[in-house]
Structure 1
């Protein structure tokens, strides 16, 4: 077992405990209130399989609102910012977007109620894309590309334009975020552990880093959706070794008795070989 694997597994117990407290604290009455929004379609309830029309949004405006919504946790930040901006947009379904209770997304904080599993940012993005009408046949590609982006990109953004755009400062960056990091996974616990190692801070000190991460993911989500809306091909970048894994471990066909596998995740995050 290599050093990285040991660190992640040892850290998971601590992360679960710490983020459970944070996630619980985020479930405030204001976030969960079902107060009707002015201009909402009062006779509309989103049904199973029902889809709403997307229109292009301003990536930085969504990122800023996501950052400002930090009290609800990362999944809430992404979902709430997207739904809120779509409810104010020129979409023919703007009034219907207003009816969606974004407080439902609070549960995803800390990798689903503090369990350190799938990152709430990705969970919220998936829930949002799921209710959008077909965008040039690329809704699934948007989700896949966002997951790959999350796995391989140094986040949160640290540049002046982003930091100023969301309403923070580089002084706060230097003291409370310190460093960006690469998650190498779609899991909350991996993302936080790698940031902790890069920054020298504990997970309990993630209060500024995670809201900025949510803002960055919300921003990227809008960029991908806007590109899809414009008819651009959406592509995600996978680790070059993943192709050799799925050669044997396919979804429909396998080789030499290999088990069948379905995943878009990075293989190397958890598997360094057949005996890992």
Structure 2
């Protein structure tokens, strides 16, 4: 069949319009895929959490290695990839090795502890858990600051697959008083009389402890508990006092505006220090 110019042009426009429509319809489908059509997590995308076994998470973190951030991140993401979550297959695509940079406070710099770095990264990709995601992060940060860690009960040591004999290598549990690796390790060293170079067992158990606590909190949030209402989710009384002048929204006289909930007096003992 032959077409005149007008018919041919109409035919071409029709095909182009149909293709454009198909492209618009297909975009959402392929928005989270790479050039090979494989799924990859998109910026801002959230995946569904389902309750996990805290001890199983702790044990996997303890036995994984690769530094504290990798231990916690790999543990929780791996368990979610094996769970009943509707997004289990999506969790499987996340390369947990990317968390390897967080050891010793970001490649040995002694800044934010890798355990907390991992927790932030995990919770940030989880779909809303009864409005408690931010509260879970806040609680785990305050827990890390104030709890005597690593956990050392006989039940916990056995549960993660360690032994009482290895407890001697930990030296002593200690309170970090900060979210910084530097402070955490320094206070542990002072309590134990051991140098940084011998932190191995202590830090393996610390990652197990934080993985355990994170999953426990996520489970509680999933069951509907208001984590944000817990006093242990809020900054200390001292930090809250500092925030009355050094707030994030308003300034009090010449006081600097500050955005943080971490412990203040660990580093700041007065206005001129």
TM-score when scaled to structure 2? 0.84
Match of 1:64 in 2: 59
Q: 2:179 pairs with 180, 186, 201, which one?
A: 186
Q: Does 1:214 align with 2:207?
A: yes
Deviation of 1:43 (Å): 2.8
Match of 1:15 in 2: none
Q: 1:245 pairs with 226, 238, 242, which one?
A: 242
Q: 1:254 pairs with 244, 251, 254, which one?
A: 251
Match of 1:94 in 2: 88
- 1:151-230 equivalences in 2 (<5 Å): 151-174=145-168, 176-230=169-223
Secondary structure in 2 aligned to 1:158? coil
Q: Is the 8 A contact 2:138 2:234 kept in 1?
A: no
User: Over residues 135-155 of structure 1, what are the superposed CA-to-partner deviations in whole Å (9 max), with x where a residue is unaligned?
Assistant: 011111100100000000000
Q: Does 1:46 align with 2:5?
A: no
Match of 1:7 in 2: none
Match of 1:147 in 2: 141
Q: Is the 8 A contact 2:115 2:210 kept in 1?
A: yes
Deviation of 1:240 (Å): 1.4
Deviation of 1:238 (Å): 2.7
Aligned length: 233
Rounded to whole Å, the distance in 1 between the matches of 2:162 and 2:219 is 25
Deviation of 1:92 (Å): 0.3
Match of 1:130 in 2: 124
Specify the structure having the higher radius of gyration (Cα): 2
Rounded to whole Å, the distance in 2 between the matches of 1:139 and 1:115 is 28
Q: Is the 8 A contact 1:75 1:123 kept in 2?
A: yes
Rounded to whole Å, the distance in 1 between the matches of 2:200 and 2:94 is 27
Q: Is the 8 A contact 2:154 2:164 kept in 1?
A: yes
Rounded to whole Å, the distance in 2 between the matches of 1:272 and 1:131 is 36
Match of 1:115 in 2: 109
Secondary structure in 2 aligned to 1:267? coil
TM-score when scaled to structure 1? 0.83
Rounded to whole Å, the distance in 1 between the matches of 2:246 and 2:196 is 35
Deviation of 1:237 (Å): 4.3
Higher relative contact order (CA 8 A, sep 6+): 1
Q: Does 1:84 align with 2:81?
A: no
Q: Is the 8 A contact 1:55 1:90 kept in 2?
A: yes
User: Over residues 212-256 of structure 1, what are the superposed CA-to-partner deviations in whole Å (9 max), with x where a residue is unaligned?
Assistant: 000000000001101110110113143211121111111111212
Rounded to whole Å, the distance in 2 between the matches of 1:243 and 1:127 is 26
